[in-house]
Amino acid sequence: MNPPSSPSPDAQPEETKLRSHVYDGIQEYDHRLPNWWLFTMYGAIVFAVVYWFAHQVARLAPSDGEQVDAAMAQIQSAKMASSIDVNNDPGFWQMSRNPVFIEAGRATFNSTCASCHTAALTGAIGPNLVDRLWIHGGTPKEIYKTVSDGVPAKGMPAWGPVLGAKKVAETVAYILSYHKESEPIEVQVSWAPPGPAAK
């Protein structure tokens, strides 16, 4: 058994006392726990509580899967936006299923088009865009042409020069998001805005 040879000077007097029990010659001090160690432990516990609350109780962040889906949609939209082909119908349908494209298109539509077509796309001054009836053609490339070149005779401005190809494509994708690729296209001759009674 070896008594302590040199108690460290910074230790508290009562702590340098050895515990009375000796195990096979091994003695034990009873130093208090270092503060930084305790703070590490308390800090980790507090973090665990807050982190659990944020993610599991309050659900402040979207789930991992949702985050990846959103990021992949972003990447997808960036790829499509960099290679817009206004004659590519399948390409438009793909855009119309991409949330990033739809969101951008919705913003443009609401600020630019909703005044005539309404925010619900059901039509007022301009025709309804959610039914299956189309006046100037209902395939994506035809819709793109209508938006971009306009129909000046009927009061539809040419938006291509104003918005640029990307924003027009987004808007078309947004309109297409109300439709399915497989649905039939019916021809409509002209649009008569519904009167007050019809509403």
Partner 1 sequence: MTGQKITIEYNDRIVRQFMLAAILWSVVAMLAGVFIASQLNFWQLNFQTSWLTFSRLRPLHTNAAIFAFVGNMMFAGIYYSTQRLAKARLASDFLSWLHFWGWQLIIVAAAITLPLGLTRGKEYAELIWPIDIAVATIWVVFAVNFFWTLARRHEKSLYVALWFYIATIITVAMLYIVNHLSVPTSLLHSYPVFGGVQDALVQWWYGHNAVAFFLTTPILGLMYYFLPKAAERPVYSYRLSVIHFWSLVFVYIWAGPHHLLNTALPNWLQLLGMTFSLMLWAPSWGGMLNGLLTLRGAWGRLRTDPVIKFFAAGVTFYGMATFEGPLLAIKSVNAVGHYTDWIIGHVHGGTLGWNGFMAAGMFYWLAPRLWNKPLYSSSLANLHFWIGLVGILLYVSAMWASGIAQGLMLSATTEGGTLLTYPNFLDTLNSIRPLMAMRIAGGALYLTGFGLLTYNLWRTIRGARPVNGRIEIYVEPPDADGKFGLGATFFNAPVIFSALGFVMACVWMFASGWLNILGLFGAILCVLLAVTHYQARAHHWGEWYDRLLLNTLPFTVLTFLAVAAGGLIQIIPMLTIDRRLQTEDRIAPLYTPLELAGRDIYVREGCYVCHSQMIRTLVPDVMRYGDYSRLGESIWDYPFQWGSKRTGPDLAREGGKYPNVWHYRHFEDPRAISPGSNMPAFPWLFKNDTGLGALPTKIRVQRLLGVPFPAWTPGMIDVLAKEQARQISTDLRTAGVYVSPDKEVVALIAYIQKLGKSDPAALPAAAK
Q: Which residues bind partner 1 (CB under 8 A)?
A: 2, 4-6, 8, 18-19, 21, 23-34, 37-38, 40-41, 44-45, 47-48, 51-52, 55-57, 63-65, 67-68, 71-72, 75, 78-79, 82
Q: How many CB atoms lie within 10 A of CB 128?
A: 19
Residue 157 C-beta: closest distance to partner 1, Å: 32
Provide φ and ψ at 18, rounded to 5°. Answer: -85, 150
- Which residues are registered as beta bridge partners of 60? none
The residue among 39 and 178 lying less far from partner 1, judged by its C-beta, is 39
The residue among 35 and 182 lying less far from partner 1, judged by its C-beta, is 35
The residue among 34 and 184 lying less far from partner 1, judged by its C-beta, is 34
The residue among 36 and 192 lying less far from partner 1, judged by its C-beta, is 36
Residue 107 C-beta: closest distance to partner 1, Å: 21
Residue 170 C-beta: closest distance to partner 1, Å: 17
Residue 45 C-beta: closest distance to partner 1, Å: 6
Residue 50 C-beta: closest distance to partner 1, Å: 9
Q: Quote the crossing angle between the two packed helices 165-176 and 140-149, to the nearest 10°.
A: 130
Residue the block writes with tokens 């808007």? 171
User: Whole-angstrom Cα distance, residue 154 to residue 62?
Assistant: 45
Q: How far is CA 172 from CA 2, 70, 103, 117, 140, in A?
A: 87, 21, 12, 13, 7
Phi-psi region of 150 (alpha: psi -120 to 50; beta: other; left: phi over 0): left
The residue among 55 and 154 lying less far from partner 1, judged by its C-beta, is 55
| Exposed/middle/buried for residue 96 (C-beta within 10 Å: 0-12, 13-18, 19+) | buried
